[in-house]
Amino acid sequence: MYLKGDEADQHIKEDFTNSRRLTPQMESTGDPEISLIAKRPPRREIIWNAFGFSKSSLSDISQTYENVIFNDSIQLPRRLGRSVIGYRRACSCEGYSREEITFTPDAFRNAVLIYQQPSPNERCGLCGELLPTPTIIIPQPSNHTRDEDDYGRDVQMKKPAASSRDSTLPVSTGISNHRPMSPEALADLAEKELENRKMIAEHEQEHVTSRKGSFSVRDQLSSLFQSGRGSSSRNSSWGFLGRSRSRRYIDARTGSEVDRHGRPVYRV
């Protein structure tokens, strides 16, 4: 006989009700101090986790762990299972217990979880009531706040009209400083660096005005290397110093004046 849907649930509920009615007569010969709930064995669920051991079969499981399940001398590590936060069960039965035994090919990784109340969508093993699914309501914010995408975006600020460059300037908000730069930003940065180098090169090529006229940097260097090659080597003009002066050489040993080649100079 096969039952589906609500018929199966109603049949199970009737079985629980009938069993509770017949239980006091069947167990009237026992110890009256032991409650009915204490005598009821806990619900036991066996889970086989064969991750990485695909060759294991159900027969191997039952043969390997038969003594573990029914032998009191072998104790698996036990801990309380987590219940649904904020969930109130429909029934008020006490003494509910459910054990989830997880077996693995590695015996040291076996564990037993003990639940003290039924889970949602589970039928209570004491009264037969089906626990409903909890309705979790997530509160929505009353006012719209800035999304995560809003933070880190560049804010466009207008520059004064007298500026000859772009009319907008991207200003970082301070949160996206650690984000990687986009290829467009890198290209813009490289272009600005190239413009700065060109400005420096143009500044170096500007003419320097002195008292004797206008000399470029190239003219000053050429005059520096060509000084002394003429007939009068002592009188050389350095335009970048702003004045003309004569160079005199003194011999360190004799203290007399010499020319640039070390030959003595005789003045009349």
pLDDT digits (tens, 9 = 90+) for 214-267: 555 566 566 655 554 444 444 444 444 444 456 777 887 777 888 878 888 877
The domain total for the chain is 2
Q: Is residue 250 part of a domain?
A: yes
| Boundary-marking domain end, from 102, 132, 162 | 132
> Do the bridges between strand 208-210 and strand 98-103 make them parallel or antiparallel, or are there none, so unpaired?
unpaired
Listed residues 70, 99, 132: the one ending a domain: 132
CA distances from 156 to 183, 215, 247 (A): 19, 46, 62
**Which domain does 124 fall in, by range?**
37-84+91-132
Residues 26-48 have pLDDT tens digits of 344 444 444 444 455 667 777 77
Question: Is 168 contained in some domain?
Answer: no
In whole angstroms, give the CA distance from residue 82 to residue 116.
9
User: Is the C-alpha dihedral spanning 113, 116, 122, 123 positive or negative?
Assistant: positive
Same domain assignment for residues 41 and 126: yes
β-strand pairing of 98-103 with 43-48: parallel
The answer to whether residue 71 is domain-embedded is yes
**Residue 109 falls within a domain, yes or no?**
yes
Q: Which of 99, 114, 132 is the last residue of a domain?
A: 132
> Is residue 189 domain-resident?
no
Structure tokens at 87: 């969930």
> E strand or H helix at 60, and its extent?
helix 58-64
Q: Which of 99, 119, 84 is nearest to 40 (CA)?
A: 99
Exposed, middle or buried by CB within 10 Å (0-12, 13-18, 19+), for 49?
middle
Residue 95 domain-assigned? yes
Cα 30 to Cα 217: distance, rounded to the nearest angstrom: 118
In degrees, rounded to 5, the angle at the alpha carbon of residue 95 between the alpha carbons of residues 34 and 20 is 70
pTM (two decimals): 0.29
Residue 231 has a pLDDT of 42
Percent pLDDT > 70 in the chain is 32
State whether residue 27 is helix, strand or coil.
coil
Any residues with CB less than 8 A from the CB of 154 and at least 6 apart, and which?
170, 171, 172, 173
3-state helix/strand/coil string of 63-102:
HHCHHHHHCCCCCCCEEECCCCCCCCCCCCCCCCCEEEEE
- Below-70 pLDDT ranges, the chain: 1-42, 50-58, 60-92, 107, 125, 133-181, 203, 205-246, 268
Instruction: Give the residue among 221, 191, 190 at the shortest CA–CA distance from 205.
Output: 221
Distance CA 266, CA 268 (A): 7
Residue 17 is assigned to a structural domain of this protein: no
Indicate whether 80 belongs to any domain.
Answer: yes
